[in-house]
Amino acid sequence: MGETTTNAPSNKQTTVREPSIVVLIQAAIAARDGPETSDCPPLYNVIDPDALDTLFAPLHRESERHGKVIFEYCGYEITVTDDRTVKVASLDANESE
């Protein structure tokens, strides 16, 4: 899971946790199909979830990240972009997005 540590005005460190990419992918599929995604195999059967989280972890300095990862999962083409946006497109040619 991504984690960012910052210094708040009170000089205490504040840790903000971002959801893992796996959670974002599951949420995107659930938003499209409803909350029942139990028909989908575990994501780790298709791609390494830890590697995804590492690739898209928050940066700790003023630099930009560029790129995206595209893979097929559970009948969808999943795209994760550099800003941690997850896009879900149906692989079924008869179904429109």
User: How many CB atoms lie under 10 A from the CB of residue 52?
Assistant: 21
The domain spans of the chain are 3-90
Q: What is the pTM of this model?
A: 0.71
Using alpha carbons, select from 23, 1, 5, 24 the residue that is nearest to residue 14: 5
pLDDT per residue as tens, the chain (97 positions)? 455 444 455 555 555 567 888 899 989 988 887 766 667 888 999 999 999 988 887 777 777 778 899 999 988 999 999 888 999 999 885 554 4
Helix (H) or strand (E) holding 9: none
pLDDT at 93: 59
Rg of the chain in Å (alpha carbons): 16
SS3 state of residue 78: strand
